[in-house]
Structure 1
Amino acid sequence: MAVIKIRNTGEWIKGHENVGSFLEKQGVLYEHWDVSKLPSHLKETFVLSDEEKEEILAIFKDDIEDLAARRGYKAWDVVALSDATPNLEELLKKFEQVHIHTEDEVRAIVAGHGIFIIKGDEQTGYFEVQLEAGDVISVPEGNPHFFTLMEDRQVVAVRLFIDPSGWVAHPYEEKEEAVQ
């Protein structure tokens, strides 16, 4: 289950209802999928074949289609990151730059975990959403954010898109405040 850390105060927000309520106020979608249906051979596998990625998409087909129908997503895929990922350091450097997109950035974590750092409202500032398997998040179009891995550097996530070819990170420059 996700937990949130408000960077400028050090406050932690825990518990499904509290996390969901906070994120809703920030305009961020948060849901939870049942990852217990993931077979054991995929629960701790962070290097996936194309067949295993397709298996994950088939397992979560109903969840994906439900979210896609509600939010207008037209395509999806699976991404797996770990120390075995070629050029992981380069990817992380790219991910760890504050940016925006011209559509939502959606991740459904099915194994491992990761962190979204999101710019909240003026009072909140930046906050971290530490995601675990089952957590689903959608950072709204135009909302400054970045993604990184936790210390063990392992995640498998379903990504949903309106237009995968248009899902490009655009750098975001802070006007007055810095990412804390």
Structure 2
Amino acid sequence: MAEIVIRNTNERITGDENVRNFLNKYEVLYENWDASKLNTDLQNNFGLTDQQKEEVLKTYDYEIRDLAARRGYQIWDVITLSEQTPDIEEKLAKFEEIHTHAEDEIRAIVAGKGIFVIKATDDVGYFNVELSPGDVISVPENTPHFFTLMENKQIIAVRLFIEKDGWIADPYPDPTFIKQA
């Protein structure tokens, strides 16, 4: 279950309904998939082969197709990141730059954990959405944000795209953003 941390105040928002209500204010889609559907061997493997990634997609085929039909997604894939990912620090540095997209950015976390950092209104500032297995989130188009991993640096996520070119980021320089240690 996702939790939210408002970065300016360190206020923590917990509980499915509270998280959903907060995210709805910013038009962030938040849903849940059954994380227990995924084979345990795949849940604990953060170096998936292409064949194993296909197994993940088959496991969540119904959920993916339902979401694609409702929101217009055309393609999808599986991304896995961990300490064993080549150039993990360089990849994280790229992910951790504030940016926007011409389409929403959606992730369904099926194993591991990650954080979306999203810009809200000026009075709220940025907030973290800490995601766990089963959490599905979609950051609206043109919303400043970035994604990073939690301390253990392990995640498997399904990504869906409207644009067939996939993940295209537009940098969003923001002098008001303060990176937390």
Residue type at the aligned position of 1:88: I
C-alpha distance after superposition, 1:93-150 (max 9, x if no partner): 0000000111111000000000000001222110000000000000011000001110
Question: Partner amino acid for 1:114?
Answer: G
Could you report, residue by residue, the CA deviation over 1:63-97 in whole angstroms, capped at 9, with x for unpaired residues? 00111111110100000000000111110000000
Matched, 1:63 2:63: yes
Partner of 1:163: 163
Compute the TM-score of the two structures, normalised by the length of structure 2.
Answer: 0.96
Q: Is the 8 A contact 1:97 1:171 kept in 2?
A: yes
Contact 1:46 1:154 (8 Å CA) reproduced: yes
> Which amino acid is 2:145 matched to?
H
| 1:5 and 1:128 in contact (8 A); partners too | yes
Matching residue of 1:14: 14
For the residues of structure 1 that align with 2:148 and 2:166, how far apart are their CA atoms? 21
2:145 counterpart residue number: 145
Please tell me whether the aligned partners of residues 102 and 167 of structure 1 are also in contact (alpha carbons under 8 angstroms).
no
Which residue number in structure 1 is paired with residue 54 of structure 2?
A: 54
Work out whether residues 106 and 137 of structure 1, in 8 Å CA contact, stay in contact via their aligned partners in 2: yes
Q: Kindly indicate whether residue 165 of structure 2 is the aligned counterpart of residue 177 of structure 1.
A: no
Question: RMSD across aligned C-alpha pairs, in angstroms?
Answer: 1.0
Q: Structure 1 pair 63/166, CA: closer, same or farther in 2 (3 Å)?
A: closer
Q: Which residue of 2 aligns with 1:86?
A: 86
Q: CA deviation at 1:164?
A: 3.5
Question: Which runs of no fewer than 5 residues in structure 2 stay unpaired?
Answer: none
After TM superposition, the runs of 4+ consecutive aligned structure 1 residues lying more than 2 A away are 176-180
Shift of 1:177: 2.2
Question: d(CA) in 2 for partners of 1:178 and 1:153?
Answer: 23
Letter in 1 for 2:176: E
CA deviation after TM superposition for structure 1 residue 40, in Å: 1.3
Judge conservation of contact 1:126–1:179 (CA < 8 Å) in 2: no
Conserved 8 A contact 1:81-1:153: yes
TM-score for both structures, normalised by structure 1: 0.96
Q: Distance in 1 between matches of 2:30 and 2:178?
A: 23
Letter in 2 for 1:9: T
Q: Report the count of equivalent residues.
A: 179
- Which ranges of structure 1 fall in alignment gaps of 5 or more residues? none
Letter in 1 for 2:101: H
Give secondary structure in 2 for the equivalent of 1:23.
Answer: helix
Aligned with 1:54: secondary structure?
helix
1:93 and 1:14 map into 2 onto residues whose CA distance is: 28
Secondary structure at the aligned position of 1:163 is classed as coil
Q: Give me the whole-angstrom Cα distance separating, in 2, the residues matched to 1:9 and 1:54.
A: 41
Conserved? CA contact 1:95–1:146, under 8 Å: yes
